[in-house]
Structure 1
């Protein structure tokens, strides 16, 4: 079994984890919100953010 921890900020424990910046998440959310507000028929769109692998003591 694999457990993945994803965070938008640095965590204090020596765990290896995936991280995405809060500014990137907010920017993408804002773009999608503006698109939905402008469109009469909002499109469903899949957004994949490229997280960063932070390797620490648990790796």
Structure 2
């Protein structure tokens, strides 16, 4: 009986740890202000008038 109980607790802690890590990483992704990894500076990109439907019609 002890072996089964030990396995159940091991599974419980593994699942708890997995969900904890998941929610922490998702919260960091949502709340991150790009302090450690800023987005690239793409600079000014003027509109050229081209669109994806060129050539139709």
Shorter-chain TM-score above 0.5:
no
TM-score (ref. length: structure 1): 0.34
More strand by share: 1
More helix by share: 2
Task: From the CA coordinates, give the structure whose radius of gyration is larger.
Answer: 2
TM-score (ref. length: structure 2): 0.35
The structure whose RCO (Cα within 8 Å, separation 6+) is larger is: 1
